[in-house]
Amino acid sequence: MNNTNVIESEGGMNEPPDINGLAHLVEHSLFIENENSSNETLNKFLDSNRGSINGMTQKDLTTFYFHVSNSKLSEALHRFAKLFLSPSFRYSEVVNTTIRDIELEYRNQILDSGYQISRVQELLVNPKHPAHQFLIGTH
Q: Domain segments of the chain: what residues?
A: 2-132
* Alpha-carbon torsion (22, 111, 61, 33), positive or negative: negative
95 compared with 139, residue with greater pLDDT: 95
What is the spatial distance between Cα 96 and Cα 70, in angstroms, rounded to a whole number?
35
Helix ranges restricted to H, the chain: 22-30, 40-48, 73-85, 96-109, 113-124
Length of the chain: 139
What is the spatial distance between Cα 26 and Cα 87, in angstroms, rounded to a whole number?
10
pLDDT (tens digit per residue) in 55-110: 999 889 999 999 999 999 999 998 888 888 877 766 666 677 788 888 888 888 88
pLDDT score recorded for residue 139: 46
> To the nearest whole number, what is the mean pLDDT of the chain?
83
Asked if 138 contacts 20 with a C-beta cutoff of 8 angstroms, the reply is: yes
Q: How confident is the model at residue 23 (pLDDT cuts 50, 70, 90)?
A: confident
Look up residue 132 and give its DSSP letter.
Answer: G
Closest CA to 139 of 122, 124, 125: 122
Asked if 83 contacts 64 with a C-beta cutoff of 8 angstroms, the reply is: yes
* Alpha-carbon torsion (9, 81, 79, 89), positive or negative: positive
What is the spatial distance between Cα 17 and Cα 12, in angstroms, rounded to a whole number?
10
What top-level class would CATH report for the domain 2-132?
alpha beta
